[in-house]
Each structure stands twice: as C-alpha cells, then as structure tokens.
Structure 1
Amino acid sequence: MKIVKKNPQGESRELLLKEFFLNAYLIAMLKRVGEESGRIRRRGRPSLEPAPVRVR
C-alpha cells in the first residue's frame, strides 16, 4: 500500500506504508532507549574501578 503526500509546492511523495510504520517504530524505540538510559544514569553512577577478586 502506498501513501501519497503533496507538499505546498505541489510536489508529491510516495511512501510505502510498511516504511512509514517502520520509521515510527524506530523513533519510538530510540525514545524508549533514551528514557531508560537516563533512568539508569539517575539511579547511581557505576564504579569505574574493577572490583577486588579473591585469589586462592
């Protein structure tokens, strides 16, 4: 299925419906990743030093 859009200059642009929904899905996924990484970052900063390990 195709979607035809016309801009104010009268030019038309055809988009495949599948491409339209794929773009919408990717934008929503990137937004969610950004929110989750912000939430994790606010929770606490992880230690950058290696944890001590017992050696036998």
Structure 2
Amino acid sequence: MTIVKKNKQGETRELLLKEYFLNAYLIAMLKRVGEETGKIRRRGQAVGEPAPVRVR
C-alpha cells in the first residue's frame, strides 16, 4: 500500500506504508531518548556515567 502526498507545487511523493510507520516510530523513539537524556542531566549525573542501581 502506498501513500501519495502532494506539495503546493503539485509534485507528488509516494511513500510505502511500511516506510511511513517506520519513520513515525523512529521520530517517536528519538523524542523519547531525548526526554530521558534530559531527565538524567537534570539529576546532575555526568554524561556517560551509569545510573545508580539499588542492590538488595
């Protein structure tokens, strides 16, 4: 299945449905990674330093 997008100049671009969802997934994943990285930095940990883990 393909998706056809038209821009203002009337040019069309066809995307495979798989490609469309893969792009959406990658964008969402990168956004989540950025948010998690921001949380770690706000906690004051150095970049590359592993997060503390509880040991029982």
Letter in 2 for 1:25: Y
Query: Which secondary structure state, in structure 2, belongs to the residue aligned with residue 29 of structure 1?
Result: helix
Shift of the alpha carbon at 1:41? 1.0
Identity of aligned residues (%): 83
Runs of 4+ in structure 1 deviating by more than 3 angstroms, as ranges, are none
Post-superposition offset of 1:6: 1.2
Unaligned runs of 5+ in 1: 47-56
Of the two, which has the highest radius of gyration?
1
In the superposition, the TM-score normalised over structure 1's length comes to 0.74
Taking structure 2 as the reference length, the TM-score comes to 0.74
